[in-house]
Amino acid sequence: MRVLGIETSCDETGIAIYASDGGLLAHHLYSQVALHAEYGGVVPELAARDHLNRAVPLIQQTLTAAQLNWSDINGVAYTAGPGLIGALLVGAALGRSLAWAAGIPAIGVHHLEGHLLAAHLESPAPAFPFVALLVSGGHTQLIAVHDLGKYQLLGESLDDAAGEAFDKTAKVLGLPYPGGALLAQLATRGDPNRYRFPRPMTDRPGLDFSFSGLKTHTLTAWREEQLTRTDNEQMRADIARAFEEAVVETLIIKCRRALAQTGLTRLVLAGGVSANQRLRERMQLAIAAVGGETFYPRAEFCTDNGAMIAYAGWLRLCAGQLEPLSFQVHPRWALDSLPPIKTADAI
């Protein structure tokens, strides 16, 4: 089976083809970052309209790259939520109608299931069960992944998501939106011993997170230090480094706790923040030190992409999951409400 994947939940149009024979055959991404940069955040209406302009040419490009015709596609997977309603509707309407016209099945994929399974596009893929740390622009969650489609929420952020905290802190430091990756770059020039920021909620039991206090702490440090320090550039880098260190260490503490609590040994990183190099390296060492193994997708599959949607959709379509001709999108959608995938049928 060859499945065309369509991702349009936020500000990235991602298209990919995943096949039973050959795996990931092609993938293309169009990022709207430049379109939204001047507003300092994603403008939902502009996002939806731009997906409309980009999706069809990107599908043509992806088919060409895979040396396939439309008639070679046997199923369509589109992101059905969670995300921006207008943006989701563009991908869902397009995916559902292309499938209807071709007489092939379509399936609405959960965006976070896509993120969770992105590490399976790499080799070696993590075996089930595992603990997943999902750290993205909208979510920070620890999830016990018992099997395909069997997700148990262990803990989550009570306020800002990790990616949101990166972006807001980057803004404080004068970096353009979305500043997460730029903040990480700046941090490489920072002195790790200059400041020590708090590791929120690590001194009490549990697997929940809170990042909004850390963001405020950074803002206060930035204001106070400007009164005494004159080396502005180095100061920004030192603060960026202290913030990144605090987030990375907090995530490591909670991941080790999650493995101890569940008795599992495999940890999978997913979502945009897992592209962070320091997080990947330090997590791998910290988990290896307790006898565990860490898996993560290549950086381009940590942030939004069509490949993870094509893959998750391919799994569900191969398992025989069917959808009616009508379609629905879910701007909010609980991950643990998904039906499990019958593994034996899927692979």
Query: What is the contact surface with Fe ion in residues (CB under 5 A)?
Result: 136, 304
What number of residues does the chain have?
347
DSSP code of 127?
P
Query: What is the closest distance, in whole angstroms, from the C-beta atom of residue 256 to Mg ion in the complex?
Result: 29
Segment interacting with ligand ATP (CB under 6 A) among 96-104, 118-126, 273-281, 312-320: 273-281
Amino acid at 264: L
167 annotated to bind ligand: yes
Considering the complex, state which of residue 167 and residue 238 has its C-beta at the smaller distance from ligand ATP. Answer: 167
User: Is the Cβ–Cβ distance between 161 and 186 less than 8 Å?
Assistant: no
Q: Does residue 271 bind ligand ATP (CB under 6 A)?
A: yes
CB-nearer residue toward ligand ATP: 52 or 184: 184
Site pattern 2..21 for Mg ion (x: CB under 5 A): --------xxx---------
Task: Report the b/e string of 307-341 with b at 16+ CB within 10 A.
Answer: bbbbbbbbbbbbbebebeeebebbeebebeebeeb
Q: How far is the CB of 33 from Mg ion (least distance, A)?
A: 7
Please select the residue that binds ligand ATP; options are 86, 272, 306, 313, rule is CB under 6 A.
Answer: 272
Q: Which does 180 bind (CB under 5 to 8 A by kind): ligand ATP, Fe ion, Mg ion, none?
A: ligand ATP
- 345 annotated as a binding-site residue: no
Whether 42 has a binding-site annotation, put simply, is: no
Tell me the H-state helices in 157-297.
162-172, 180-187, 212-228, 232-262, 277-288
Q: How many residues bind ligand ATP (CB under 6 A)?
A: 22
Structure tokens that stand for 98 in this block: 């292309």
C-alpha distance from residue 91 to each of 166, 170, 339 (Å): 28, 30, 22
Q: How far is CA 340 from CA 151, 205, 224, 312, in A?
A: 9, 30, 51, 12
Task: Select from 131-139, 194-202, 260-268, 327-335 the region that touches ligand ATP (CB under 6 A).
Answer: 131-139
Whole-angstrom distance, CA of residue 13 vs CA of residue 305: 7
Instruction: Tell whether 217 is in a known binding site.
Output: no
* Cβ-based neighbours of 81, under 8 Å, separated by 6 or more: 9, 88, 108, 110, 111, 329, 330, 331, 332, 333
Q: Which residues are CB-contacts of 179 (< 8 A; sequence separation ≥ 6)?
A: 166, 167, 169, 170, 171, 173
Minimum separation from the CB atom of position 300 to Mg ion (A): 12
- In the list ligand ATP, Fe ion, Mg ion, none, the entry touching 14 (Cβ below 5 to 8 angstroms by class) is none
| Binder of ligand ATP out of 18, 78, 166, 243 (CB under 6 A) | 166
- The token pair that represents 196 in the structure block: 């020590």
The entry of Fe ion, Mg ion, ligand ATP, none that residue 13 binds, CB within 5 to 8 Å by partner kind: none
Phi, then psi, of 339 in degrees rounded to 5: -70, 140
Q: How far apart are the first and last CA of the chain?
A: 11
Indicate whether 139 belongs to the interface with ligand ATP (CB under 6 A).
Answer: yes
- For residues 87 and 287, which CB has a smaller minimum distance to Fe ion in the complex? 87
- Between β-strands 75-81 and 106-110, what pairing exists: parallel, antiparallel or unpaired? parallel
Output the residue with the shortest Cβ distance to Fe ion: 304
Does residue 160 touch ligand ATP according to CB under 6 A? no
Residue closer to ligand ATP (CB basis): 160 or 238: 160
CA distance 200 to 233: 27
Residues 7-46 that bind ligand ATP (CB under 6 A): 10
Binding segment for ligand ATP (CB under 6 A), chosen from 72-80, 130-138, 190-198, 310-318, is 130-138
CA 214 – CA 78 distance, rounded (Å) = 36
**Tokens encoding 330:** 């879910």
- 167 or 304: CB nearest Fe ion: 304
Q: Does 276 bind ligand ATP (CB under 6 A)?
A: yes
Residues making contact with ligand ATP (CB under 6 A) = 10, 83, 111, 115, 136-139, 163, 166-167, 178, 180-181, 184, 271-273, 275-276, 303-304
* Known binding positions for substrate: 134-138, 167, 180, 276
